[in-house]
Amino acid sequence: MFIIGELINGMYANIGKAIKEKDKSVIQKCALSQIQAGADALDVNCGPASKEPVSDIKWLVEAIQEVTDKPLALDSSKPKVIEAGLKAAKNKTIINSTTADPEKMEIILPLAKSYKAKLIGLTISAKGIPQNKDQRLELAAMIVATCMDKEFPIEDLYLDPIVMPVNVAQAQMRDILESIREFKIISDPSPKAIIGLSNVSQGTCTRSLINRTFLTMAIAYGLDAAILDPLDKDLMDAGISTELILNKHIYCDSYLDAYRRK
Ligand code: THG
């Protein structure tokens, strides 16, 4: 499982404040603690309150790069913000994200290609978030077809079914899980599947439990990557144990320690 740490997001009060006050040490500590906990990459999102997201993302990328070479997932709906992040980044990047809209893909795909970035494609269109599996798969197929047409490597494409909070969309959880499985058979080579995990538990009072239950299920349905809170140790342990049971790691009595030391 490829883990993208979600905590460098201006939506969190401490990060929003650090961005505003240009306090590098808060960001750098947050980066290092997520990596220490097992993150393979870091999501970078200026948050809804940022008034200057183009300069803020540049500042964030530069601050993070002073302490780590891990890949950065540049998280913005604005192509100009993503481009500023790509320009500032010295290491691997993941564009988070494009939608299935042709106009959006027209702008994002050339950026992904010229910066050799991986790409997250959200199954969302101008009509909004899909309400069932068929709508998700239709948008996923559109994204895959456009990538093929524009010669973007499908192995570098991560499809995201858009996880909704279980307390407002309980009837959609099964569709989301089945979408993950079916994304993988859209084409050969296959696109990968990713989710923003914490969305599932927003507004609930048992967040950690719901997060790790959903992660376990999503991995069983073929999930390749997740944006999540790597500081949640029970969550990380659930992910490692699920992969063990699916025969993705060799077993020993101390497999959790052994996995972390890798
Ligand atoms: N898919 C993709 N990218 C994404 C998402 C996705 N990026 C953003 C988001 N969803 C994933 N990241 C988070 C980060 C935080 C939370 C949820 C998802 C979260 N935050 C607390 C809340 O809203 O309750 C904030 C707590 C606080 O303010 O301290 O839940 O789906 N591709």
Q: Give tens-digit pLDDT for 201-236.
A: 999 999 999 999 999 999 999 999 999 999 999 999
Question: How do residues 51-67 score in pLDDT, each as one tens digit?
Answer: 999 999 999 999 999 99
How many of the other CB atoms lie within 10 Å of CB of 188? Answer: 7
In our burial notation (b when 16+ CB lie closer than 10 A, e otherwise), range 12-35 reads: eeebbebbeeeebebbbebbeebb
Ligand 1 contact, 160 CB (< 6 A) = yes
Distance, in Å, from the CA atom of 149 to the CA atom of 159, rounded to the nearest integer, reads 17
Fold held by 2-232? TIM Barrel (3.20.20)
Query: Could you tell me which residues are beta bridge partners of residue 99?
Result: none
* 3-state class (DSSP) for residue 76: coil
Residue with CA at minimum distance from ligand 1 atom 14: 6
Distance 10 CA to ligand 1 centre (A): 10
Q: Please give the average per-residue pLDDT across 239-254, as a whole number.
A: 91
> What is the predicted pLDDT for the residue at 153?
98
Q: What average pLDDT score do residues 94-110 get?
A: 98
Decide: 121 and 225 in contact? Cβ < 8 Å.
no
Categorize the per-residue pLDDT at 254 as very low, low, confident or very high, splitting at 50, 70 and 90. confident
Rounded average pLDDT over 183-204? 97
Residue 169: DSSP 8-state? -
Pocket test for ligand 1, best of 9, 82, 162, 166 (most atoms within 8 A of CB): 9
257 pLDDT more than 90: no
Cut 0.95: pTM above it: yes
pLDDT at 255: 86
pLDDT at res. 193 = 98
Looking at residue 262, its pLDDT comes to: 75
Ligand 1 site, residue 163, Cβ cutoff 6 A: yes
Percent of the chain topping pLDDT 90? 93
